[in-house]
Chains A and B, each alone.
Chain A
Amino acid sequence: MNKEWPLWEIFIRSQHGLAHKHVGSLHAPDAEMAINNARDVYTRRNEGVSIWAVKASDITASSPGDKEALFEPANSKVYRHPTFFPMPEEVKNL
């Protein structure tokens, strides 16, 4: 039997209207305790309004070997990059 607690990835939403952002990972025996532990490990400095805990084993990640196929094509198509649009000062968090 595996005695290690499973690994959880923790996402915190820093304020209403923003997306949950990955802040790190921790070990916990189950989802409820993962939230409790996240409170202790990641939210002691007023970080957010909401916590998500996701089992790390439930995340499907792209392989580093696929980097070229996934990301390279965009590099030669500068028109895809939104750098030509001046952003108004008022628009934040974009």
Chain B
Amino acid sequence: MPDQKFSYLLRLADNATVLSQRLSEWCGKGPALEEDMALSNVALDLLGQARFWYSYAGEIEGAGRDEDAMAFLRDAHDFRNLLLVEQPNGTYADTLARQFYFDVWHFLLLQKLTASTDPRIAAVAEKSLKEVSYHARRSGDLVVRLGDGSEQSHAMMQAALDELWMYTGEMFQPDATDEAMAAQGIAPDLASLRAPWLKHVGEVFSEATLVLPPENAWMQKGGKQGVHTEHLGYLLAEMQFLQRAYPGATW
């Protein structure tokens, strides 16, 4: 099923690309020099991963689209990223909440993908896992610092985590593509990631003196199928401007 593997790879690539673009928006505006550099580094890591996934997706598609065509010449409804990663940066607490939820899931997913029956996916996952294990450690550490920090940082962190909670359900909800990938042993059963994710997130929350939002809360979905929030269009408009205005521009 090359079509479904193509869709699946696009999801991996689009998650990384969109989150990378969001994090890059902090570049030069971070709350501290060290944080500015850290977020830019995470953004670069994700961009590197996106390139691997896009290249492979392009090869499977066989239509001659390279990684740039994938990233810069597709419209919002063609993107298959999670709604979580396209959410705006907001305050630093919002950015961290988004990062923490995603990092923990990303880590668990890549860990499983290293055992993929597709050797190329396994290899990229293995390489990415080293970076993502650091991302998860870093964002978790910061959630603890802010949650268990001042009264204000605690309140802001809790509010941000509550606000973004409804975008986490999509990470564990398999659709036909996910099921096809799982059946072929290419990707793990998404639902199986939920328990370890909740466990890890719950542990960090309790260390951070934060309260875990209700597990059965109503969840948003649609990103993986191309139904996005309004934010993605603006993000892509900025990200894709140069290639759209000056097709084929390089430097």
Chain A residues with Cβ below 8 Å from B137 are: 36
Residues in A neighbouring B69, C-beta threshold 8 A: none
CB contact under 8 A between A37 and B34, given known A29-B145, A32-B141, A44-B41: yes
Please determine whether B145 and A40 come into contact, CB atoms closer than 8 angstroms: no
* Chain A 1-38: CB-based contact to B (< 8 A → 1; otherwise 0): 00001000000000000000000001111101100110
**Interface presence of B204 (CB below 8 A):** no
A33 touches B37 (CB 8 A): no
Q: Is the interface of B mostly helix, strand, loop or mixed?
A: helix
Contact code string B29-45 (vs A, CB < 8 Å = 1, else 0): 00011100110010000
CB atoms of A27 and B141 under 8 A apart: no
Bound-state Cα–Cα, A75 to B141, Å: 50
Cα separation A41 to B142 with both chains bound (whole Å): 17
Residues of B within 8 A of A32 (CB): 141
Chain A residues with Cβ below 8 Å from B33 are 26-27
The A-B contact count (CB < 8 A) is 28
Chain B residues with Cβ below 8 Å from A5 are 32
Given the interface pairs A29-B145, A41-B37, A44-B41, the reply to whether A36 lies near B32 with Cβ below 8 Å is: no
B134 within 8 A of A: yes
| Residue numbers in B under 8 Å from A55 (CB-CB) | none
Q: Which residues of A contact B32 (CB under 8 A)?
A: 5, 27
Q: Which of B38, B141, B142 contacts A40 (CB 8 A)?
A: B38
Distance between Cα atoms of A23 and B37 in the complex (Å): 16
CB of B34 within 8 A of CB of A41, answer: yes
Across the interface, which residues of B come within 8 angstroms of A37, CB to CB? 34, 37-38
A29 → B minimal CB distance (Å): 6
- Measured between beta carbons, the chain B residues less than 8 angstroms from A30 are 145
Query: Scoring B residues 141 to 172 as 1 if CB is less than 8 Å from chain A, else 0, what string do you get?
Result: 11001000000000000000000000000000
Closest-by-CB residue of B relative to A32 is B141
- The 8 Å CB contact of B134, one of A27, A28, A33, A39, is A39
Residue of B nearest to A30 (CB): B145
Nearest CB in chain B to that of A3: its residue: B150
Enumerate chain B residues within 8 angstroms of A26, measured Cβ to Cβ: 33-34
Query: Quick one: closest B residue to A34, CB to CB?
Result: B34
- Asked if B138 and A36 make an inter-chain contact with CB atoms under 8 angstroms apart, the answer reads yes
Minimum CB–CB distance for A33 against chain B, Å: 6
The residue that A28 contacts in the complex, of B34, B37, B41, with Cβ under 8 A, is B34
Chain B residues packing against A (C-beta within 8 Å): 32-34, 37-38, 41, 134, 137-138, 141-142, 145
The 10 closest A-B pairs by CB, nearest first: A37-B34, A40-B38, A40-B41, A40-B37, A36-B138, A26-B34, A41-B37, A29-B145, A27-B34, A41-B34
